[in-house]
Structures are given as structure tokens and as C-alpha cells.
Amino acid sequence: MSLPDELILKYMELLTDISQTDIDNHKKEMKAGKNPRDTKIILAKEIVAQYYNNKIAEKEEKNFESLFSKKKVHDDIPVINLFDKLEKKDSYTVFEITSTAAELGGINDSSSVTKRKIKQGGVSINNQKITNPFEKINLTDDTIIKYGKINFFRHKSE
């Protein structure tokens, strides 16, 4: 949803088959106070339907809603084994868990970027936002790590 609000209607016009009348109605609704996010969802669904089909567009809309609106974690998130990189011990810092999860997940952020994400509230472990990179956490199987807005990992040892 990183599309600036002022470009939503232009994208609708250029990238979809939505009628000009409908686009004008969306414009009026947005000026009247409708949340631009709702119009972005319509745009996204229309684009997905054009490139795939309506069934997939409906499914992805539900996935988006559950992930971002209802804060649910999907069952099909990538599974990683943090012990592939971490030595087993009683507890780990949030930074150790997060940086290792990101690395195993193919995210090549620097240590300073990872620490900044943690401090700014961009990291959650088991649905708990943690802002102290040096807070100690006990790592268990099925630990869910959220790194940034869209990167989720599930830790499973072996």
C-alpha cells in the first residue's frame, strides 16, 4: 500500500478498465472523506483480476485484509531454523533472533538497519512488538518473527 493517495485515481484510469463514471464516483467519495485505503483495495483487486482472474483477486483481498487489518499470521509463512546460524543457549537478544531470521529469509539488511527497525517498532516476536534490541527472549519452536511490515518467519528446529 505504498502508493501515494494522490495517484490512486490516475492508476485506476491508466491501468484498469474501470469506467470513467466509476472513477469519478471514487473521486467524490474520497473528497467526502472515504478512506483512500478502501479505494486502493479496489484498484489492487482490479489489477489482480486483470492479470489473473476474479477468484484469485478475491482470495488475495481476503489475505490482505486478514494480514493487515486483522493482524493474523498465515499458516504458509516461510519456516526457518534459527539454530542453523545460532548456537543453542537459554535465551537470545531480539537483535540476534531478528538479524538471523532476516538473513535466513534472504533479507540482507545491515546490523544498524535491523537495530533501527527494532527500536522503531518494526519487529514483533509472537505478536508482541519489541523495541529493545537487547531484550532477552526464550526461543521455542513455532516462534513467529515479524520483520518490517510484510516479512514473517516461523522458527522450527529441525
pLDDT over 70, % of the chain: 93
- Cell output for 71: 493482524
Amino acid 6: pLDDT: 92
Over residues 142-151, mean pLDDT: 89
As assigned by CATH, the class of the 79-155 domain is: alpha beta
- Other beta carbons within 10 angstroms of residue 82's beta carbon come to 21
The predicted pLDDT at position 46 comes to 94
The pLDDT of residue 69: 61
β-pairing, 151-155 vs 143-147, is antiparallel
The 3 state secondary structure assigned to the chain is: CCCCHHHHHHHHHHHCCCCHHHHHHHHHHHHCCCCHHHHHHHHHHHHHHHHCCHHHHHHHHHHHHHHHHCCCCCCCCCEECHHHCCCCCCCEEHHHHHHHHHHHCCCCCCHHHHHHHHHCCCEEECCEECCCCCCEECCCCCEEEEECCCEEEEECCC
Q: Which of 1-5, 35-39, 118-122 has the highest mean pLDDT?
A: 118-122
**Residues pairing with 151 in the sheet:** 147
Domain boundaries, the chain: 5-69, 79-155
Q: Tell me what pLDDT residue 65 has.
A: 77
Range of lowest pLDDT (64-68, 78-82, 127-131, 148-152): 64-68
pLDDT value, residue 127: 87
| Interstrand relation of 151-155 and 79-80 (parallel, antiparallel or unpaired) | parallel
Q: What is the pTM of this model?
A: 0.60
pLDDT in tens, 68-121: 665 566 667 889 999 999 999 989 999 999 999 999 999 999 999 999 999 999
